[in-house]
Chain A
Amino acid sequence: MRCRELAEFLMDYVSGELPAENREHFELHLTRCRNCREYLVQYEGCVKAGRMACDEQSDELPVDVPEDLVKAVLAARKLDPSS
């Protein structure tokens, strides 16, 4: 397995879906290739970073809704015949 194939199998490897035979080749390549080890770490890091950055509980996401949007929603609701 070369770096190119390893990159292709990365997602399945990370999710544990890579078939055993491919996994062996994958891991063998990893032991020999520092660059692919680094790529794997960063790939997994991005998945984690995305999740952590968009965590709803995180402080910096806007909790206050723009005032004009509040007004627009409430006005639209009054006009909505089906509510």
Chain B
Amino acid sequence: MRWVWRGLLGVAILLPAAALARPLAFVLNSDDASISIIDMATRREIRREPVLRQPHHITLSPDGKLVLAGDTVGNQILYLDPETGRILRRQTISDPYQLMFSPDGRVLTVTGLARNQVDIYAFTDATGLTLLHRVPARSMPSHIAYAPDSSVVYVSLQGSNRLMAISVRSGAVLWDVPVGETPAGVLWDHDHVLVGLMGEDGIAVVDPTDGHVLRMVRTGRGAHNLFFSPDGRLIYVTNRVAGTITVLDRASLTVLRDYRVPGGPDDIEFAPDGTLWVTQRFDHGVLFLDPRTGTYSRINVGRSPHGIFLNTDRHTHRTEEP
């Protein structure tokens, strides 16, 4: 029975080490029904947390205590511990695709891509999500952005080439207008809404009062999602068809440079050391891009990695003005 004692001893040695929390990264493997938990310091995958069917997107709760991940085909929202990556509880929600908290932290908007609906929920730690409004949408509501005062939420309708604006308080549709071929990522910036157009070669600059397109900025074929740099001076755009990430000067929206990034770049997060962590949607990888040199390394994760979250102290909200 010596192995029993050795086993216990092993557990005793390992447990304190595990208790010493190291910053973790979470990558949602959408076609592998798992979440890769990665040690940010070593960039090694520690383990894969199994989920039900198809996880896509992930976001931090306003108080920073929980990570919410949506499992679309599993019809579940998972609540994970950002320190350990363990699933704490689950809530049944139909087809949760994108999910994002408002800047004031009071509501969570969830898009039901496969059910043509946008849900607005109230959230508390104790009760989880409570539905406030369910708004019927045209085909494939996908990405989300808020006005800085949290009064309006903007949702791209990937299957109908439109962008819609919804009043957060009433759930009323303010406008719903064409913006270009296959709109995806949405970002509020300086009184404008920026929309990545996957079916075109850049982003649309949209007037938030009525949705009309003011101008286009060329970034690359298949412009997909947009992210502010941590210092708020730059905007990074992933271009799926071109296989590039374009850097825009935020003030002028002029192109500063392009990085070649293979594997179908999708979502980006920023590590404290300045590295961009990029999910490679069609190459089962996470790529670490050094923006100073344009060089990168990568690790393998599961099939079709989509949403990514880095549990860093300086994690800032996407729509926050710097």
On whether the two chains bind one another, the answer is no
